[in-house]
Amino acid sequence: MKNVTELKHPIIEHKLSILRDKKTSTKEFRELIKEISMFLCYEAIKDAKLDEVEIETPITKMKTHKVNEDQYAFLPILRAGLGMVDGVIEVLPTAKIGHIGMYRDEETFKPVNYFFKVPKDIKKREAIILDPMLATGGSAIDAIELLKEKGVEKIKFLCIISAPEGLKSVTKKYPDVKIFTACIDNHLNENKYIVPGLGDAGDRIFGTK
């Protein structure tokens, strides 16, 4: 899985420890999702192409470089992916935002698609999919497929927690998609939840349980 990057940093491990704790409040959970998403986005755009521009400092004129934010689009998978949006737009505030609506069928454990709205020029952009959890990989694969059908060539996937099973499925199906995760957990349980995980990210972000 050469296209999988796991963040290895004491601060990330510290924040994940608080995030996983079932005693952590909804407010703090949201804040941590935002903060970790910023770190993931920072790592994901290390290969960003820079445009040369001229600016004037208080001392002199100079040539420097800026990221062209118009080349990016963030695609949160509803609803949990919405929790990551505030973090990534701190890094690229003018990037476009689309939405991919999916939910998990509790009997088949497979994703059901119900909404797909992306920028009209999405095929010209680098698409960065957002979802806190990559469990079976079903939602990720479906989201990637929808974007490829739109002609998107460069796709990345950002998640807070991932399972080896899901990573294997996504990288096997789409080896060209780079995945950035804060932590690779141990395994999936019989209900397809990540172990040790952090529970249902959507419910914890929105306080619905």
Catalytic residue set: 104, 108, 200, 203
Distance, in Å, from the CA atom of 13 to the CA atom of 155, rounded to the nearest integer, reads 26
Is the Cβ–Cβ distance between 74 and 90 less than 8 Å? no
Per-residue buried b or exposed e for 121-157, using 16+ beta carbons within 10 Å of the residue's own CB:
ebeebbbbbbbbbbbbbbbbbbbbebbbeeebebbbb
- The two structure tokens encoding residue 92: 């690229």
Pick from 46, 34, 196: which is nearest to 130 by CA? 34
Which pair of structure tokens corresponds to residue 183? 């932590």
The total of other beta-carbon atoms located within 10 Å of residue 47's CB is: 9
